[in-house]
Structure 1
């Protein structure tokens, strides 16, 4: 089956607190599916964790009589915890992320001062290299290295769809920030060009939507729509134009409120810290590092 003709079934699940979209994507012929960028619920005010988002996807999967083949993250998220480890325990499906996660682990291992942390990607079952192929059921899939937002960001091109997370947002919302440790507006521009080189009819699914001007959440566009209507892409004719626009915008943005909470969990494959002697788990915060 040709990748561009394979029609993938896509269900999006919106998490309002983080503005994140999680996906269950399936091959309708084999009923095999993958989960992409699942959210583990966390309330920073109380420290409470929950599995409401992940359980809703598992219920959908049961209702649709699907079999989970993959649990995929596009990158280590800075605004929510990943539910990849929880879903791996529930389904037995392998977890995967891009192989440049090791670079992110090395960077944040130093920030968190964790000398014994294994910065080798071993927290996932599979590390994908740029250009590597796999499948969801009978639908072919390919990995595109898409750095810029983070050192490790990747795009999953599955059949006629691409899951682009923090590169492009919906056309009315522009592009993702590039000012995190290891980020680069220039590299983000080049990653966007790689995505826009896909066939015009390719369906693009974003990882966040912040409901521009109060509209309902949206998460699907096409390559053609992004080329013609994206507020940042259409305004920039060159990489230099984009870098100037993106860096000026980034200077106005506060850090995500959960970045220091989330990275220590997400660079560990979505695992929460181990309980201490009193049975409680604790997060660690580096002060004045950002």
Structure 2
């Protein structure tokens, strides 16, 4: 019988992002997935209230954080991984294809300090790799399409899918960012749908589908087989046509420009300039 990890979700309504504290109930070994750094775009100020809530939960549950897991370099919020690493000593983990994403956006933002070799992430994981979490295992599934570096983390009977899937009544991830591909996402999703029907699915975002009054971020593989973008035997060609047409109607995420240049660096803010101030870039006509 597959062991069920304990899961606590933390919803950040300004960015519609869900972070997770996940732990082995036997050994209390824990992981934090997709943390959020509070960022006020109007003032350029950062804060750690949301990340501190995760640390408060770590203390309340009596767990020890072994990993800070990122499903991908997010385009809609800034990661709080460096703050959490300083507090817990846990390494920051992401899929090995982050190097591709770093290379692309190093050019977009003309960031001389980006090495595009995976640094400053502490550990790059590959498809099929397994990390130990107490008596539980974290299995890495490479699930690209939204970005080339997207991974999902299978922990016991729970899968954390990042932006690959949304709630069944809302659909699936966009694929129009650099390196995104709708056909690739279709195949990644079907890789996930091959898991047992009762696998719990934890999502990184929810935007409330029309007609639904509450936010939601937990579902099952069985329910996702009836996802509005996938049900009734939708073929890859049909999915690609739908996804590409839909993506053309979408605006860029509000925080994509600050988020990407921070998140490709594991959440590290840009180095301070001569006056001691850190600056984010705003590339014109680049995206």
Q: CA-to-partner distance for each residue in 1:94-134, whole Å, 9 max, x for gaps?
A: 11000000000000011111244211112111100111011
Q: SS of the residue aligned with 1:171?
A: coil
1:181 matched to 2:178: yes
The alpha carbon displacement at 1:277 in A equals 2.4
Instruction: Tell me how many residue pairs correspond in the alignment.
Output: 286
1:151 matched to 2:151: no
Which one of the candidate residues 129, 135, 139 is aligned to 1:138?
Answer: 135
> Conserved in 2, the CA contact under 8 Å of 1:236 and 1:242?
no
Q: TM-score, normalised by structure 2?
A: 0.97
Q: Which runs of 4+ in 1 moved over 6 A?
A: none
Q: TM-score, normalised by structure 1?
A: 0.96
Q: SS of the residue aligned with 1:21?
A: strand
How large is the RMSD of aligned CA atoms in angstroms?
1.1
Which one of the candidate residues 231, 234, 258 is aligned to 2:255?
Answer: 258
Corresponding position of 2:90? 93
How far apart are the structure 2 equivalents of 1:30 and 1:80? Answer: 31
Corresponding position of 1:218? 216
Sort the Cα spacing of 1:79 and 1:64 in 2 relative to 1 into closer, same or farther, 3 A.
same
Q: CA-to-partner distance for each residue in 1:248-272, whole Å, 9 max, x for gaps?
A: 1101100111111111100011001
> Conserved in 2, the CA contact under 8 Å of 1:24 and 1:36?
yes
Stretches of structure 2 lacking an aligned partner (at least 5 in a row): none
Corresponding position of 1:241? 238
1:24 matched to 2:21: yes
Corresponding position of 1:62? 59
Q: SS of the residue aligned with 2:261?
A: helix
The alpha carbon displacement at 1:276 in A equals 2.0
Corresponding position of 2:7? 10
Corresponding position of 1:168? 165
Q: CA-to-partner distance for each residue in 1:108-165, whole Å, 9 max, x for gaps?
A: 0111112442111121111001110112211012101000000100000011000001
